[in-house]
Amino acid sequence: TDRKKLHTAPVGQVFRLRPFHVLVATGGGYAGYRKYEDYKLEQLEKRGIEVPVKLASEWEVALYKSVPTRLLSRAWGRLNQVELPTWLRKPVYSLYIWTFGVNMKEAAVEDLHHYRNLSEFFRRKLKPQARPVCCLHSVISPSDGKILNFGQVKNCEVEQVKGVTYSLESFLGPRVSTEKLHFSQAPPGNSFQQQLVTKEGNELYHCVIYLAPGDYHCFHSPTDWRVSHRRHFPGSLMSVNPGVARWIKELFCHNERVVLTGDWKHGFFSLTAVGATNVGSIRIYFDQDLHTNSPCYSKGSYNDFSFISNNNKEGIPMRKGEHLGEFNLGSTIVLIFEAPKDFTFHLKPGQKIRFGEALGSL
């Protein structure tokens, strides 16, 4: 009689699983498995063994998308802005430096206690002499990173990595009005690629640069050009690691991205900053109206903003090497531009490159 009564809930209530929890657990587990597969592929590549392309199926992409990467990225962003105690800063940043091989000797401020939170540390500036801008070549690298692919655009398809392509029109979206950009009017019926080429005898070129977490996270203007238009695509925030880019076709078209278009001395020029997991925040310094990774967005939508107005008919002029924007961790930059047929890239696939070094020239 002195025993206490034990109240138990029905088994169905104890083990009730919500669909959201199942998706998160399944998707998260599968994402971890893919990370392990990517690691194995990287090890094979380091040994010089060519890895055959194996694309993800539709259900695998849908499963990966079930992971709430946008929510996790916003949470990560808020965590990064939490001010760390002075005594904790050096251990935390030192661990990050050791993990990703960060060279703090290049930082404008080497003292780790100076950075109040992780966000400030990620967006650290470099010493002016750390990245000299090449003056001999017409196009330079806008950031530190790894060259995933480069070359001519063919058949309206662009390679994100060797053997894996995406649609040029899906990536950039519908063509911007030629009246606003002062481009020549392309004959009707031409392909999307041909409509972007404004001068006879020119070709369309592309270059893909992957920024790893340990890289310098700011990006700069790759040449002298004029930015006329911004197009923001809300979307997924899947990893853009080269292993994932090799696995998911049109990965860059799925992810959130900011497309800057305009023109340079040879015609059409565009720079696209592609978001990724934990990189929901893409900042363009001269565009205060841009807000990325918003909680509310319509799938497949995009919003446009023109920098050309009655008061400013020239857009935003950018000088080669000038600060343009920043990521909050690591991601990808895609350049798509028009140039004469004798334009030559000074690159090798897979090479490491630093901001200010030559990409190509005439």
Neighbouring C-beta atoms of residue 139, cutoff 10 Å: 27
Q: What is the pLDDT of residues 316-329, one digit of tens each?
A: 999 999 999 998 77
* pLDDT level of residue 39 (50, 70, 90 thresholds): low
Checking if the pLDDT of 217 tops 80, the result is: yes
How many Å separate Cα 14 from the centre of its chain?
42
Alpha carbons 358 and 156: distance in angstroms, whole number: 26
The set of residues, in sequence order, having a beta carbon less than 8 Å from that of 280 and lying 6+ positions away, is 70, 73, 74, 76, 77, 237, 256, 292, 293, 328
* pLDDT score of 40: 67
Burial 6-41 (b: 16+ CB within 10 A, else e): eeeeeeeeeeeeeeeeeebeebeeebeebeeebeeb
Q: What is the CA radius of gyration of the chain?
A: 23
Checking if the pLDDT of 251 tops 70, the result is: yes
- Kindly list the catalytic residues: 144, 220, 331
Q: What is the pLDDT of residues 50-90, one digit of tens each?
A: 556 678 788 888 888 778 888 888 888 788 888 999 999 99
Q: What is the pLDDT of residues 284-324, one digit of tens each?
A: 999 988 888 877 766 668 899 999 877 777 889 999 999 99
Checking if the pLDDT of 44 tops 90, the result is: no
Mean pLDDT of 137-143: 93
Mean pLDDT of 28-45: 62
Checking if the pLDDT of 226 tops 90, the result is: yes
Alpha carbons 239 and 245: distance in angstroms, whole number: 8
